[in-house]
Amino acid sequence: QARLVESGGGLVQPGGSLRISCVASRLTLEYYAIGWFRQAPGKEREGISCISSDGGSTYYIESVKGRFTISRDNAKNTVYLQMNSLKPEDTAVYSCAAAAICVPKVGIRSHEYDYFGQGTQVTVSS
């Protein structure tokens, strides 16, 4: 069964950095755009970033722009999210999912994404 698996989360102090990964199993990632989502306690899941299948296009929501960087290594079937200058409000479960396309002008439409992973917890606290 095709799936995506996230890893790399943890506890980090405000201002710190983390890199989380999304690895595909039984799914050839190079054919898909990948999106990163997060869900904080008591809040709805939000799409925060996406990257096109060839890595040529990326999108970020305003609250993470300039702090987070999405990238991919199709040879390793992996997508990354580098998170710098982390804030307590970044605390959430982060998950990845696949879609046909990532269009920066459109943003992230969750209903277009499939193969959501179980997520990795990121906690930003002193």
How far apart, in whole angstroms, are the C-alpha atoms of residue 19 and residue 2? 23
Strand order in the sheet with 18-25: 3-7, 18-25, 78-83, 68-73
Judge whether 108 and 59 are in contact, CB under 8 Å: yes
Q: Residues 2-60: pLDDT tens digits?
A: 899 999 999 999 999 999 999 998 999 999 999 999 999 999 999 999 999 999 999 99
CA 60 to centroid of chain Cα atoms = 10
How far apart, in whole angstroms, are the C-alpha atoms of residue 59 and residue 41? 24
Judge whether 119 and 93 are in contact, CB under 8 Å: yes
Q: Residues 72-88: pLDDT tens digits?
A: 999 999 999 999 999 99
